Structure 1
Amino acid sequence: MLINDQDTLKEYLGGIQKVMDFATWKPFVRSSEQKYIIPAIGWDQYRQLVALDNPNQYQTEFLDLIKAALAWFTYVEAFPHLTVGVGDAGISVQTPTNSQAMAKWQYVALTKESASKADENLEGAIQYLETFANEFPAWKNSTAYSVNRGRLISSATEATRAFPAIRYSRRLFLCLRDYFQIAEKEFVRPILGPLYEELIEKLKDGFGFSLTIHEAEVLDLSRKAIAQYGFAQAVPYLNMNVDFRLVSETDGILNEDALGITRLNAISQKAMGEAQEKAAELKRYLNENASADQLASYYSSSLYMPPAGRFIKRPKNDPKNPYFVL
């Protein structure tokens, strides 16, 4: 595992003051790796990190980031179980000498804050991998890389820039990723035509650094359309906090209710309307800016439609007529 002792875990979780046997935490470390870390970085990269004896600068920096994420996910996984005692006599709330059971508002606040820290650290680690991809060939050649980088929206950061409600949440992005991929294939790809494959290849190879100004604008509009369309498709099946639940908080007590049908329909319709607006804006931008030199693959495709205003031929005014044409 990436974390194998209590001292390493404490290094990233400053809130652990008491002595606790690492055997208590080990199952939660393992489950957190399986649930959150390995799906994000891939098995090949994970095995390489575990086997490292003398990491280089990039590996050392990444290990620090990924261990921080793992520690907080471990805390989130372990937290509900650490508040009770389990034995042959059954399950009970632990109340050691000179202590008392945690209040509900404290439990809710601590769980929420820990989950947020876990998300932020994992997203930071993924961004580091993408920034220095060439230093991590095991990840760049993995399925985890191709699953994400083969898409127009490949991370929680990109999703948030297109749709701020994602709030850089890695968990929320994973909930919506399949909907984004459906939106990309069914909604945006038919608009882009052959330009779609060109954008994907550039994103895979250079993370967008080689995009022209027009291609970058097309990518930005495409992501906004994908995010809104994907969200419109997803919202009937999700809730409204990080798991899309309607949440209200009173004196630190978190109350969650299912999303009502009226609100759900209004949100879905609004998202679909904005998606269609972005799609129309994308089409308009392509047709107005495509040429033999810019966005050439779209310009030469059957999808290209020259703006009507460019080719309007005004009739000549005849001085014999009692009127003139503007």
Structure 2
Amino acid sequence: MILTQPLFKARLGAVQTATTWATVEPFILAAERGFRERIGSPLFNYLEGLSDIEATDYQLRVLAEGAIAWASLFRALPHLKFRIGDLGLMKNSPANTIAITKWEYIDSKEAVQQEADDWLEDFFQLLESLRPAVWTASIGYQRRQAHFIRSTDELARFVSLGGGRNGRFFDMLVPYIAKVEELYISPVLTDSDFEDLLEKWKDPEASWSKEETKAIEYIQKVVAPMSYYEAFPYLPLQVDYKSFSSPRVKDGLVDEREPEANDVNTLKRQLFMDAELYTAKLKKHLDKVASSTLFPGYFDAYKKAAPVEKPDDFTDTPHVII
């Protein structure tokens, strides 16, 4: 177990010292399981073994502890409102305390979730910078590197609608990133060039020509807005075993309303136009730089020299050429 009681309270800071370990331990175990699944067991075990607080890698453990601690608190919050005993559910009301309002509770949950997201994003950002061998050899790393947009930070460079540092939203968007690459990028590059470029993109030690770098930039500028566009029909819906539903925000510090149809259509149209613009730029760039050695699939499909046209021969014709 990566968290101890002192570490749990130290990473949160705002938790009252009276909170007992037994109360939160089940939620910590659940949050650790989720974190382990996300990064893979080899990396999790590596983090558990880090003990030198002066080492650069130790900061990875600190960030992991923070992400798990805040995720644990988010899981625990709904259950901390009550106490369960032989008489059923009860709510304590000690002297000189008052119950918080509904909007305060909702705001607190959202703040806790944002803290968990931020710690997790900081963890992955440092992980990508340090790239320990146990990470680059893992399935989790390969899964995260499988697309031309690999993180919330990369996504926010081109479209910042998701808030920039929202890991939950990015995880939801990954299937649409894959869809865009399959339906819109691969046909432009040709399948062979797409696969070769993506494999090279996954290699942190690869060297890049300026032509390839520019192509990657155009690809990302297509994938980012188009993944939003493809996800749009599904964003308002929540699906579970009960039925389809559309979540609504009723309480909180900020009043929210359903967007007007014109607002939605304008945004969708702009996302599509942005993707179309950079698709055209990508094609123009490939037309300019593709050769038998650079983007050879595209070159073979679209740029092979056309047959040389012979000049018209009017020999032995009765027409007069002026």
Q: Which of the five TM-score ranges fits, normalised by the shorter chain?
A: 0.7 to 0.9
RMSD across aligned positions (CA):
3.0
Deviations 1:273-321 (A, max 9, x none): 322222122212221343567x443563314489xxxxxxxxxxxxxxx
What percentage of aligned pairs have identical amino acids?
26
Q: Does residue 286 in structure 1 map to residue 286 in structure 2?
A: yes
Contact 1:104 1:253 in 2 (8 A): no
Q: Does residue 144 in structure 1 map to residue 140 in structure 2?
A: yes
**What's 1:13 paired with?**
12
One-letter identity of the residue aligned with 2:36: I
The 3 A distance-change label for structure 1 pair 176 and 245 is farther
The 3 A distance-change label for structure 1 pair 230 and 224 is same
Contact 1:108 1:254 in 2 (8 A): no
Contact 1:222 1:282 in 2 (8 A): yes
**What's 2:214 paired with?**
217
**What's 1:176 paired with?**
173
1: distance between equivalents of 2:203 and 2:140? 15
Summarize the alignment of residues 55-94 of structure 1 with structure 2, pairs less than 5 Å apart.
Answer: 57-94=55-92
The total of aligned residue pairs comes to: 297
Contact 1:233 1:268 in 2 (8 A): no
The 3 A distance-change label for structure 1 pair 55 and 15 is closer
Contact 1:123 1:168 in 2 (8 A): yes
Q: Does residue 235 in structure 1 map to residue 242 in structure 2?
A: no
Summarize the alignment of residues 1-326 of structure 1 with structure 2, pairs less than 5 Å apart.
Answer: 1-3=1-3, 5-35=4-34, 37-52=35-50, 57-133=55-131, 136-166=132-162, 167-193=164-190, 194-206=192-204, 210-239=207-236, 252=253, 263-291=263-291, 295-297=294-296, 300-304=299-303
Contact 1:153 1:180 in 2 (8 A): yes
Q: Offset of 1:137 from its aligned partner?
A: 2.2
TM (normalized to structure 2)? 0.81
* SS of structure 1 residue aligned to 2:161: helix
The 3 A distance-change label for structure 1 pair 170 and 206 is same
Contact 2:103 2:251 in 1 (8 A): no
TM (normalized to structure 1)? 0.80
- 5+ residue gaps, structure 1: 307-326
* SS of structure 2 residue aligned to 1:91: strand
1: distance between equivalents of 2:181 and 2:197? 12
Q: Offset of 1:245 from its aligned partner?
A: 6.4
Larger Rg: 2
The 3 A distance-change label for structure 1 pair 61 and 215 is same
Q: Offset of 1:179 from its aligned partner?
A: 0.9
* SS of structure 2 residue aligned to 1:165: coil
Greater than 6 Å deviation, 4+ residue runs: none
Q: Offset of 1:50 from its aligned partner?
A: 2.9
Q: Offset of 1:96 from its aligned partner?
A: 2.1
* SS of structure 1 residue aligned to 2:89: strand
Contact 1:191 1:303 in 2 (8 A): no
The 3 A distance-change label for structure 1 pair 55 and 201 is farther
Q: Offset of 1:206 from its aligned partner?
A: 1.5
2: distance between equivalents of 1:272 and 1:178? 18
**What's 2:319 paired with?**
none
2: distance between equivalents of 1:33 and 1:162? 32
Greater displacement, 146-155 / 210-219: 210-219
1: distance between equivalents of 2:119 and 2:187? 36
The 3 A distance-change label for structure 1 pair 232 and 191 is same
1: distance between equivalents of 2:207 and 2:144? 18
* SS of structure 2 residue aligned to 1:300: helix
Deviations 1:28-72 (A, max 9, x none): 11221233x224311221133335566882431210111111111
Deviations 1:114-155 (A, max 9, x none): 21121111111112111121xx22221211111111211111
The 3 A distance-change label for structure 1 pair 303 and 63 is farther
2: distance between equivalents of 1:305 and 1:287? 11
2: distance between equivalents of 1:232 and 1:253? 26
* SS of structure 1 residue aligned to 2:301: coil
Deviations 1:175-232 (A, max 9, x none): 101111111112111212233233322322226x622222222112111211222211
2: distance between equivalents of 1:79 and 1:256? 26
Contact 1:218 1:282 in 2 (8 A): yes
Q: Offset of 1:249 from its aligned partner?
A: 6.5
